[in-house]
Structure 1
Amino acid sequence: MRRLAIALGLVLLLPAAQAQETLRDRIKARIEQRRAERGQDAPATGGLQELQVQGRKVLVHLPTGYDGSRPAPLVLAFHGGGGHAEYMADDSHYGLQKKADEAGFVVAFPNGYSKLQGGRFATWNAGGCCGDARDRSSDDVGFARAVVAALKARYRIDAARVFATGMSNGGMLSHRLACEAADVFRAVASVAGTDATASCTPSRPISVLHIHARDDDHVLFDGGAGAGAFRDESKVMSFVSVPDTIARWVQRDRCTAPARRTLERPGAYCEVHEGCAGGVSVQLCVTDSGGHSWPGAQRVRRGKEEASQALDADDLIWRFFEQTPPGPSQ
């Protein structure tokens, strides 16, 4: 009798349990639907959305308060040579997620070409540099275009305010994108990575910001590869100098005004070339110290010189992007 009573009890409880399970499934489905509507249905990695584009990882940070109700600016941030997306997304090294929250832009961290399954030790094909990406002629301009298209399909992106920035080899790729994808990117900003292109014919004038330390021991300020660059010299190039990089963009953008100093403080200065075609500008910011690092960073790689605190690269870059007139929507 006792066994019968237990069995009857289980039978009576079963519909209620099934109803609870059905309710949970409905709630879960509704949550997933709402997240998808807000562009938040991608897997999360440490608070970041993770996408796959052309077989490569792209980490995405949506700014605080993002709900997809209005288009947001987009910044693609490219890691340095030998780095990877997670490292570029680390705010202790770069601070771009925090800046995105403050300013309200979406920031994405694509992964470069890597032979390793996890994507570590990746490089970008920026023209003359660097590593396996260059040697294998990786189509990183095409990849960057595909990343932007994927993000526009998933999130509410303002196509007239799409920007690129990067560190070292990633900065070099930003210069290349200005040359070959000016129809997509409104402006670019490079830190510690000079122009590595052999030829450059932008489809329209484009604003360019370059940030560099005078004592950079990788990409030497006055040109050439320093002692801190890749040990295998065949993986890099004789880097173009900072002055030549700026001169190239002044010519490409047909700037007529001489450089005007916009900031000068102990350890750093900035200057701008105006009177350029299409209302764009070419800007340069220089720190006296900091080596091959991101100005304002709180942490650098072990054994490297501390980053200069005379400038905050995140503030400079976003102010530059924000002040660039929006282009036509694509």
Structure 2
Amino acid sequence: MFCCPPKLSPLKRMFWLLCASVLLSSSAVAQDGVLRQRLKERLQQRQAERAPAPTSPTTITQPGDYRLSLVHQGLLRSYLVHVPQRDLTSQALPLLVAMHGGGGNMDFQADDSRYGLISASEREGFVVAFPNGYSRFAGGKLATWNAGNCCGAARDGQVDDVGFIRQMVSQISAQLPINPRRVYATGMSNGAMMAYRLACEAPDVFSAIAAVAGTDNTRVCQPGKPVSVLHIHAKNDDHVLFHGGVGPAAAIKSAETEYTSVPATVSKWTGLNACSQAPKRMLEQAGALCESYAPCQGGAQVQLCVTDTGGHSWPGGHKPRGGEPPSQALSANEVMWDYFNRQPL
């Protein structure tokens, strides 16, 4: 603020006030210009933040990675697809649907440094799809699957995840030469539980599943036809306990359930598939063993692979931080693809 100096003649006083007025006006204009520029920059920043991120093509035309979506029962659902480097005109390819654990998301399950499924896709020549579970967040984080008695918001909201995955498989099959007899499902933890629900309710789509660290917690299961089941679990899993129940590693027990045990899950599916009750040892090595129940109705198989260690994890995979590292006594990816290759066509 400018103060008029004392003891000025009327003429000098008028001149001084005129100069002060010009200075104040210039200062105000300058400040207004700075403010306008800052507001403009902030508006541009907000527009950039709100602008949609670059997306991959919405149509699958060649090998590579795709980020896609569909609307099912009013919900926008997202999924990733990896198409291996293969001639897409020469033969129909298998499709593997790989589902993340509860609280994860599709990007997490597609992380090759953790699960190695992209590398397996390239090595074995199958298409792999990573659907995103139900999430309350726009970015799809902290997602869960409605696998029956588990888990979280997907279960509580009775989200139709079976319908979503059916629609996703149909959408992929309309764009790629997928062998309808070789559509499989796998998952980790809550994703494994979702694989069991798909076996129960979509046996016309999935001929076999491989569940890792997640048991069958469906409420109703009447598949109507045999579905082969491979179950992989660590004896010392501290989340989905081998002999049933929710373990100490569970973060929010109210979002989960008292999990069915591994033996009860295997017994259920040997019964549903009318399998031989005497298991045959398929693999036995330091830290791991696999047993197969066969023959089963329609050529189906039920197989159980158990690791001594690894806790709640994907055998053969990697955990960048936290928790017990996965067992390296066997590779879930190798065991599962060997298992899928042995299924009748």
TM class by shorter chain equals 0.7 to 0.9
Query: SS of 2:334's equivalent?
Result: helix
Of 78, 81, 92, the residue aligned with 1:57 is: 78
- Any residues of structure 2 matched to 1:269-280 within 5 Å, and which? 269-280=289-300
Instruction: Give the C-alpha shift of residue 37 in structure 1.
Output: 9.2
Letter in 1 for 2:68: L
Contact 1:39 1:68 in 2 (8 A): no
Contact 1:40 1:49 in 2 (8 A): no
Instruction: Give the C-alpha shift of residue 40 in structure 1.
Output: 3.5
Instruction: Give the C-alpha shift of residue 238 in structure 1.
Output: 0.2
Taking only aligned residues, the RMSD between alpha carbons, in angstroms, comes to 1.6
Query: SS of 1:197's equivalent?
Result: coil
Cα distance between partner residues in 1 of 2:203 and 2:288: 29
Cα distance between partner residues in 2 of 1:154 and 1:164: 19
Cα distance between partner residues in 2 of 1:78 and 1:37: 22
Query: SS of 1:87's equivalent?
Result: helix
Percentage of matched positions with identical amino acids: 52
Of 87, 90, 100, the residue aligned with 1:69 is: 90
Instruction: Give the C-alpha shift of residue 57 in structure 1.
Output: 1.3
Instruction: Give the C-alpha shift of residue 202 in structure 1.
Output: 0.6
Question: Residues 121, 66 of structure 1: CA spacing in aligned structure 2 closer, same or farther, 3 A cutoff?
Answer: farther
Of 134, 137, 149, the residue aligned with 1:116 is: 137
- Following TM superposition, where does structure 1 have runs of at least 4 consecutive aligned residues deviating by more than 3 angstroms? 35-38
Contact 1:183 1:203 in 2 (8 A): no
Instruction: Give the C-alpha shift of residue 66 in structure 1.
Output: 4.0
Instruction: Give the C-alpha shift of residue 186 in structure 1.
Output: 0.8
Q: Which runs of 5+ in 2 are unaligned?
A: 1-56
Query: SS of 1:151's equivalent?
Result: helix
1:192 equivalent to 2:213? Answer: yes
Question: Residues 110, 68 of structure 1: CA spacing in aligned structure 2 closer, same or farther, 3 A cutoff?
Answer: farther
Contact 1:162 1:184 in 2 (8 A): yes
Letter in 2 for 1:238: E
Cα distance between partner residues in 1 of 2:188 and 2:248: 18
Stretch deviating more after TM superposition (207-216 or 47-56)? 47-56
Q: Which runs of 5+ in 1 are unaligned?
A: 1-34, 42-46
Aligned position for 1:319: 338
- Any residues of structure 2 matched to 1:284-303 within 5 Å, and which? 284-297=304-317, 299-300=318-319, 302-303=321-322
Letter in 2 for 1:311: L
- Any residues of structure 2 matched to 1:1-330 within 5 Å, and which? 39-40=61-62, 48-54=65-71, 55-229=76-250, 231-297=251-317, 299-300=318-319, 302-326=321-345
Contact 1:38 1:68 in 2 (8 A): no
Normalised by the length of structure 1, the TM-score is: 0.84
Instruction: Give the C-alpha shift of residue 160 in structure 1.
Output: 1.1
Letter in 2 for 1:226: G
1:117-140 deviation digits (Å, cap 9, x = unpaired): 000100000000000000000101
Cα distance between partner residues in 2 of 1:38 and 1:50: 10
Q: Which has the higher contact order (CA 8 A, sep 6+)?
A: 1
1:64-105 deviation digits (Å, cap 9, x = unpaired): 224343211100000000000001001111101101111110
Instruction: Give the C-alpha shift of residue 36 in structure 1.
Output: 9.3
Question: Residues 221, 37 of structure 1: CA spacing in aligned structure 2 closer, same or farther, 3 A cutoff?
Answer: closer
